[in-house]
Chain A
Amino acid sequence: MNTISSLLNEDWHERYRRIANLNIRSSIYDLTNRCNLRCKGCFFFSSGEHIVTEEMDIKKWEHFIDKEKARGVNLAILIGGEPTLCMDRLEAFYKRLPTYCATNGLIKVSRDKFPDMMVGISLWGGGEDEKVLRGKDTFAVSSKNYEGDPYTYYLYTVTPRQVGKIEPVIKRIVDVGLKVHLQLLSNDESVDGFYWRQGELDDLRFEMDEMLDHYPQTIISSKYYHEVITTGMMLGRRFGWEECPSVTESLDTRKPPVRRLIHFYRWAADLKTIHRCCTSATRDCSTCKDGAAHMSWIMVNKREHMNTTRDMQNWIEVYEMFAKLYRLIPW
């Protein structure tokens, strides 16, 4: 029987201890159905998940959040639509729970009101890809809004067209004093020219590893995460519906039970509807490239990584990456 101390030296064991008891209970909330962009490939609008009647009464939001807190949620992940269009709801969450806001960065979150709220700014590549997919180069605006902010990072969704071109984007982020995390486009709306081919994914993995070596102070990532997200494989298992941990608990009828995020829900902005998972129910799970789902997949399979020292170290690095993204441990 392998134990942690039989696999890790004292340094690694200390790193393990730092994260082993975090006990994160996250859930995702669509803060609004509205957005100030309409990006091609955005699962929220392509899936029709925005078609619910948005709850407008802030008191009902406050009551809802209190109930979520009582349910054990200790990390609220706010998406949308664009969460910064509803600052009162954002504030209601922030006052009650550790909160992460996923935004396109076009509207600045006031640091007077939200001094340490984690902000993740979506970025879909360099200026040209951003114009094709999102209608504008959002970086030009978001980088001005958040330059040097210690609680903000870019969530860079790499597209097939970006392979071989990541470094200039990373450099722009370095220049504005922010961090970046990498994930892959899932192309939910079948935009021409944005499908992944396996060779591209192999090249991208190599490129992401290289960037991590060159910019370790800027990129929040791990090589094992790169491997899993580009291959869709972990310890000989393939990602898909039978494996995904990020399924809303009450909708998870899989048998046998799958290792999953405990008490995870994704709520719609009517505060009644629940969505299947952290992305959209219309997405084919076998081609899903969602970074958070793959990260969580690794994290919930801790004991499966206790076969070798390298496997366990890989697991720790991914968990640390997650913990850094939410500033649960320092960058």
Chain B
Amino acid sequence: MPERIATEGIIRHVAEIIIGELKLEDVTPDTFNPDMDLVDELGIDSMDLATIALVLQDEYKIVIDEDDYPKLKTVRFICEYIEEKLAAKC
């Protein structure tokens, strides 16, 4: 259970960052669909991703390689990516 709580916390936090950085209206971290395709549905582009990646790097003290951007397709994938990076640091 603690792992799941941690995952949900990251998902919520990532959603919060995306909403804040993209100034999204009418959506909250709780109502943000973590499986929504960020490019295909939300319309973000590589500059948006770069901006979000910078914030995530600061928040989680990880390095996000630009080559990995295509992996960051949804909030859930971003969360899994962050968890992998954090695990690799341990």
Contacts and interface: CB of A to CB of B under 8 A. Distances in A.
Query: A and B: real partners?
Result: yes
B25 A3 contact: no
A306 B22 CA distance: 12
Chain A interface extent, by class? 10 to 19
A48 B41 CA distance: 46
Contacts of A72: 66
Given A1-B24, A1-B27, A3-B36, A306 B43 contact: yes
Given A1-B27, A259-B47, A262-B46, A303 B39 contact: no
A72 B47 CA distance: 14
Contact of A302 (B25, B27, B45, B70): B45
A9 interface: no
B40 A260 contact: no
Contacts, number: 38
A17 B43 contact: no
User: What secondary structure prevails in chain A residues at the interface with B?
Assistant: loop
A303 B43 CA distance: 6
Interface residues of B, number: 19
B32 to A, nearest CB: 9
A4 B44 contact: no
Contact of A3 (B22, B41, B45, B46): B41
B46 A303 contact: no
Interface in A1-43: 1, 3-5, 16-17, 20-21, 23
Contact of B45 (A4, A5, A300): A300
Contact of B43 (A4, A21, A262): A4
B47 A260 contact: yes
Interface string A119-135: 00000000000000000
Contacts of A16: 40
A4 B40 contact: yes
Contacts of B26: 1
Interface in A290-321: 300, 302-303, 306
B42 A3 contact: yes
Interface in B38-57: 39-48, 50
A4 B42 contact: yes
B25 A1 contact: yes
B43 A302 contact: yes
B36 to A, nearest CB: 7
A3 B47 contact: no
B37 to A, nearest CB: 9
Given A262-B46, A262-B47, A303-B22, 12 more contacts: A1-B26, A3-B36, A3-B42, A3-B43, A4-B40, A4-B42, A20-B39, A20-B43, A21-B39, A72-B66, A262-B50, A302-B45
Give the top 6 A-B pairs by smallest Cβ distance, nearest first.
A1-B27, A3-B41, A1-B26, A1-B24, A302-B45, A4-B41
